[in-house]
Amino acid sequence: MLVAIIDYGSGNLRSAAKAFEHVASMDQSIVVTNDPTVLADASHIVLPGVGAFADCISGLEAIAGMRAMLETQVLQKCKPFLGICVGMQMLFETGYEHGKHKGLGWIEGEVVKIGATGNRQQAEVSRMPNVSCLMPLKIPHMGWNDLNLIAPAHPLLKNIQSGDHAYFVHSYHAVCKNNTQAIATTQYGTALTAIVAKDNIMGVQFHPEKSQQTGLQLIENFLKLRNV
């Protein structure tokens, strides 16, 4: 089985590849690629992301045939897909970082600045109560934070518990239109989406490759998933 990590110029992907290689089974090979045709042979597809929403979308679109191949392999053939950080944010319909930009639109919702006010920016992203922060939030949200599992039975969360730590670096957060698709949150002034899942499409706001045992467990869980 081939695990394809998409390289569209969003940063050094070696640390992510090493994390996947560390937990991959003997029959799984990890490849970092900007060749859309490789995705046809992949069993799992990973979309990382570092930087601004608009830049990442533009970088992905700049690779001829990549978006069309992603839609074929993920939406039609239902291969397990994992978006990481901005790679998760790009799954949504709209991002508001440095203007309004269209995302992939695979998950209904939008990506807004942490601490923004007004309408959906303040919508709950989980069934846990929001907690107001008495001090101004530091942006970006950077460092270790606890996970709160909303759907602990999801296979992506096997052997992961509420209270486990993950490493975050982000200034914007995703707000799901369908709250049940936010399967884990983290608390930073309010409940922020930490993990999303919709059928074979999954995403994490944090960096699993930097999240030690929690991140490695999540990657291992993802690599054990099969087409749905």
- Tell me, letter by letter, the H, E, C secondary structure of 169-195: EECEEEEECCHHHEEEEEECCCEEEEE
Rg, Å, the chain Cα set: 16
Helix (H/G/I), strand (E/B), else coil: 23? helix
CATH for the stretch 2-223? 3.40.50.880
CA distance 21 to 115: 36
pLDDT 10s digits, 1-51 = 999 999 998 877 889 999 999 999 999 999 999 999 999 999 999 999 888
Separation between Cα atoms, residue 81 and residue 117, nearest integer Å:
31
For the annotated catalytic residues, the residue numbers are 85, 207, 209
More confident site: 127 or 105: 105
Please give the Cα distance from 193 to 197 (Å, whole number).
11
pLDDT, average across residues 209-214: 95
118 pLDDT band (50/70/90 cuts)?
A: very low
- Calpha distance 137→100 (Å, rounded): 23
Domain spans of the chain, in order of start: 2-223
Over range 85-108, report the average pLDDT.
96
Are 57 and 9 contacting, i.e. CB atoms less than 8 angstroms apart? Answer: no
| Residue 124 confidence class, pLDDT cut points 50, 70, 90 | very low
Which pLDDT band, with edges at 50, 70 and 90, does 96 fall under?
very high
Structure confidence at residue 228 (pLDDT): 56
Q: What is the mean pLDDT of the chain?
A: 90
* Position 129 pLDDT exceeds 60: no
Question: For the residues 169-181, what does the mean pLDDT come to?
Answer: 95
The type of residue at 212 is Q
Q: Is the pLDDT of residue 207 over 80?
A: yes
Residue 136 has pLDDT above 80, yes or no: no
Contact 203, 82 (CB under 8 A): yes
- Which residue stretches of 63-188 are H helix? 66-70, 86-89
Mean pLDDT value across residues 158-169: 97
At residue 10, the pLDDT reads 80
